[in-house]
Amino acid sequence: MKKATFLTYNKPLLCAMVQEDTVEKMKFVIHNSISNGAEALGLQLEELVLEDRTEEKLKDLFATCKGLPTYITSYRGKNSANLSEDERVELLLLAAKCGATLLDVMSDLYDPQPYEVTENEEAINKQKELIKKLHDLGVEVLMSTHTHTFFDEDTIIKIAKSQQERGVDVVKIVNFSQTEEQLMHNISVCSKLKDNIDRPYLFLTNGVHGRFIRHVGPTLGCCMYLCVNEYKPGYSTEQPKLTAIKQVRDNFIL
């Protein structure tokens, strides 16, 4: 069987995000997402109750993905809110051993910051060590920054370059589009990133005008769509629906 990857693709991948608190619930979302055309699955493991974070259950979860590439997060919220940085990293490492494809390392890991960006050398060195460890386990690594505010072009490109320099395979930045002016700025930034870094990248925006970039970003250079199979309590309504964005992707991207 061909090894799953997020690094080679003919069209930007349709990655359906899964945000459930048990493995059994996640499996139903995975089945429905694959049926509706998902080409990758994004499993947000911070959502899982602690008792479901076992090797046996995670291997069962990844088996449900039918060999599709899996993108894994282990963020600070939800059922991981009371865990330490090291404990959340252990969940990433367990996922890597159980069959995950792409692991999300936050760009302020080991040094939490309001804008999810650290310049602390000790934290950065620990991130680099983790990235090497994950690569040694045979998985791909994405680094994410959620700015929680609007950053200008120079700042976004600086963050993207810093992520690349830490050795990751995929760059991810989520900026804000609260006004039409910010939206137009972000459209330009999304396009310019491909001329400033040599990694696949995912550039998204939140806010009042955030959805637009999530629909058109891959036409400007982003490597995938993050979408949801359906809208339900606990799911991000800023992410496009899988069946709708599949039509956009298949009809507009050659």
* Domain extents in the chain: 12-100+224-254, 109-120+135-222
If you count them, how many residues does the chain have? 254
Cβ atoms within 10 Å, residue 218: 24
The structure tokens 């069209």 sit at 11
pLDDT in tens, 11-26: 999 999 999 999 999 9
Q: Is the pLDDT of residue 207 over 80?
A: yes
pLDDT bucket at 225, cuts 50 / 70 / 90: very high
What CA–CA distances, in Å, run from 190 to 48, 61, 222, 253? 32, 33, 8, 16
Would you state the CATH architecture of domain 12-100+224-254?
Alpha-Beta Barrel (3.20)
Query: What pLDDT is recorded for position 238?
Result: 85
- Per CATH, 12-100+224-254 and 109-120+135-222 having the same topology is answered yes
CA max distance for the chain: 49
Q: Is the pLDDT of residue 254 over 90?
A: no
Chain center to CA of 73? 7
- Six-digit token string for 59: 């291997």
Cβ atoms within 10 Å, residue 112: 12
Cα torsion 80, 55, 35, 215: sign: positive
For the residues of 43-55, what is the DSSP string, one character each?
EEGGGS-GGG-SH
Phi, psi values for residue 208, rounded to 5°: -55, -40
Query: What pLDDT is recorded for position 1?
Result: 65
Q: Are the beta carbons of 17 and 46 closer than 8 angstroms?
A: no
The chain-wide mean pLDDT, for the chain, equals: 96
Query: What pLDDT is recorded for position 253?
Result: 53
Query: What pLDDT is recorded for position 226?
Result: 97
Q: Is the pLDDT of residue 2 over 60?
A: yes
d(C-alpha 91, C-alpha 35), whole Å: 28
Please give the angle made by the CA atoms of 247, 250 and 252, to the nearest 5 degrees: 95
Query: What pLDDT is recorded for position 68?
Result: 98
| CATH number of this structure's domain 109-120+135-222 | 3.20.20.70
Query: What pLDDT is recorded for position 170?
Result: 98
Query: What pLDDT is recorded for position 237?
Result: 82
With CA atoms as reference, report the closest residue to 6 among 239, 187, 168: 168
- Six-digit token string for 52: 């479901």
